[in-house]
C-alpha cells in the first residue's frame, strides 16, 4: 500500500543545555581537536530520549553509536567525475528526515564548528546525519580551481544516491554560504526527497550579484589572463577561479520574478545583520523568489557571516527540528497505523 504524507503534530524536545557546553568545547578547539573531542565523547554509549506528543504520549529512546560504528561511518568514499569525494554518514531512524549539511565556500568539514555541533545534536535525537567535503577541499581529492556550483551539486547528489534511498529517505538540507546556493538547486531537482531547507548566511548568486560588480578592471584582467585571483572578501582571503564565475552565470536562481524558484518545502533562513560578506537583502530576495508559503527568516543582531556562537548553534538546531517535525510519512500498510 502506498504511503501518504500528513503533518506531524508533535514536539521534539531539543536539549539546549548540553549544547552550551558542547559548542563551547568545539568552538574554542582547533580543527584537529574537533575530531578528538567527538571521538572521546562517543567512546561510551549514551542513552537519550525524545518525547512525542500526538494522539498518545510516548517516549522514544536511542543509543549513540559506539567506537566501532563511529569508525565505519567516517571517511567513506564515492568517486565523482574522477575525484574521490569523502563523506561522513551517521545512519539513524529512517522514518524521520536525514540532515544533510552543505559547507560554505572553501570550507572543509574540519574547519567549521557548526558541523560538529549539528552532528552531535542529530545523534542525540537519533536523526541521520550526512556531510561531505566538496572536491578540492578538506579530505576530498581534486583541484579547487575546477570547483563550481554545478560540480559540487553533482557531488552531493552522488553522495545522496550512494547512501540514501531516494524514494524512501527524505532529507532536510542545511546550507551555509555557498551551501545555501547548492541547497536551493538540490531542492528544485529533488522535490520528492527534500522536505525542508535551513539556510545559514545563504548567498545564492553571489558571484553575479556581489563578486563581479566589486572587481576592479585590473582584477578582471588578471582573472581573464591567469584564470584566478586572490580576493579579500570580508575578513578572509579567497581564491576565485574563472570556472566558478562562468558556471555561476548558468546557476543563478534570483534572476526571476516573485515565486520563480520552484521550492515548496518549509524554509528557515538565519542571517547575521553584521555579516561582513553578504548584505541582508539576500535573505529578502530569496524569500520573495521562493514558491514556498512556509518561509521564516531570523535576523541576528551583531551576527557575522560565520554564525558560530553558542546561540547561533541553538538557532540552527531549532530550525532543523522545526522543518523536520513538519514532515511525517504515515505508512498506511503498517499494522501500527490502525
Render pLDDT for 22-39 as a digit per residue (tens, 0 to 9): 333 333 333 332 332 233
Other CB atoms within a 10 A radius of the CB of residue 143 amount to 11
CA distance 282 to 238: 20
DSSP code for 67: H
Question: How high is the pLDDT of residue 239?
Answer: 84
Q: Is a pLDDT exceeding 60 seen at residue 8?
A: no
Residue-wise over 20-36: b if at least 16 C-beta within 10 A, else e? Answer: eebbebbbebeeeebee
Quick check: 156 and 181 in contact, CB under 8 A? no
Question: How big is the CA angle at 307 (ends 105 and 193), to the nearest 5 degrees?
Answer: 65
Question: How high is the pLDDT of residue 294?
Answer: 96
- DSSP per residue, 196-231: EEEEES--TTHIIIIIHHH--HHHHHHHHHHSEEEE
Quick check: 139 and 133 in contact, CB under 8 A? yes
CA distance 27 to 19: 11
Question: How high is the pLDDT of residue 111?
Answer: 62
**pLDDT tens-place string over residues 117-137:** 999 999 999 999 999 999 988
337 compared with 82, residue with greater pLDDT: 82
28 compared with 324, residue with greater pLDDT: 324
Quick check: 96 and 329 in contact, CB under 8 A? no
**Greatest mean pLDDT among 40-44, 206-210, 297-301, 304-308:** 297-301
Structure confidence at residue 10 as a pLDDT band (50, 70, 90): very low
Question: How high is the pLDDT of residue 136?
Answer: 85
Amino acid at each position: 500500500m502506498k504511503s501518504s504524507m500528513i503533518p506531524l503534530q508533535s514536539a521534539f524536545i531539543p536539549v539546549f543545555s548540553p549544547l552550551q557546553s558542547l559548542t563551547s568545547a568545539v568552538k574554542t578547539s582547533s580543527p584537529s581537536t574537533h575530531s578528538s573531542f567527538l571521538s572521546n565523547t562517543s567512546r561510551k554509549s549514551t542513552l537519550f530520549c525524545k518525547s512525542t506528543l500526538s494522539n498518545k504520549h510516548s517516549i522514544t529512546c536511542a543509543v549513540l553509536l559506539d567506537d566501532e560504528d563511529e569508525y565505519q561511518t567516517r571517511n567513506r568514499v564515492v568517486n565523482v567525475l574522477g575525484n574521490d569525494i569523502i563523506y561522513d554518514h551517521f545512519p539513524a531512524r529512517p522514518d524521520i528526515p536525514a540532515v544533510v549539511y552543505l559547507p560554505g565556500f572553501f570550507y572543509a568539514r574540519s574547519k567549521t564548528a557548526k558541523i560538529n555541533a549539528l552532528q552531535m545534536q542529530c545523534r542525540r535525537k537519533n536523526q541521520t546525519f550526512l556531510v561531505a567535503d566538496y572536491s578540492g577541499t578538506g579530505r576530498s581529492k581534486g583541484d579547487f580551481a575546477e570547483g563550481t556550483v554545478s560540480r559540487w551539486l553533482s557531488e552531493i547528489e552522488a553522495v545522496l544516491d550512494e547512501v540514501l534511498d531516494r524514494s524512501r529517505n527524505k532529507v532536510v538540507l542545511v546550507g551555509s554560504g555557498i551551501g545555501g546556493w547548492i541547497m536551493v538547486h538540490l531542492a528544485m531537482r529533488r522535490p520528492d526527497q527534500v522536505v525542508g531547507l535551513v539556510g545559514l548566511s545563504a548567498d545564492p548568486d553571489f558571484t553575479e550579484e556581489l563578486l563581479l560588480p566589486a572587481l576592479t578592471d585590473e582584477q578582471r584582467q588578471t582573472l581573464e589572463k591567469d584564470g584566478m585571483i586572490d580576493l579579500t572578501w570580508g575578513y578572509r582571503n579567497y581564491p576565485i577561479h574563472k570556472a566558478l564565475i562562468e558556471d555561476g552565470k548558468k546557476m543563478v536562481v534570483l534572476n526571476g520574478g516573485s515565486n520563480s524558484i520552484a521550492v515548496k518545502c518549509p524554509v528557515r533562513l538565519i542571517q547575521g545583520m553584521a555579516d561582513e560578506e553578504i548584505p541582508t537583502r539576500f535573505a529578502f530576495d530569496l524569500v520573495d523568489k521562493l514558491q514556498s508559503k512556509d518561509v521564516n527568516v531570523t535576523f541576528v543582531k551583531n551576527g557575522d557571516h560565520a554564525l558560530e556562537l553558542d546561540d547561533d548553534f541553538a538557532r540552527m538546531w531549532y530550525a532543523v527540528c522545526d522543518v523536520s517535525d513538519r514532515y511525517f510519512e504515515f505508512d498506511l500498510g503498517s499494522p501500527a497505523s490502525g
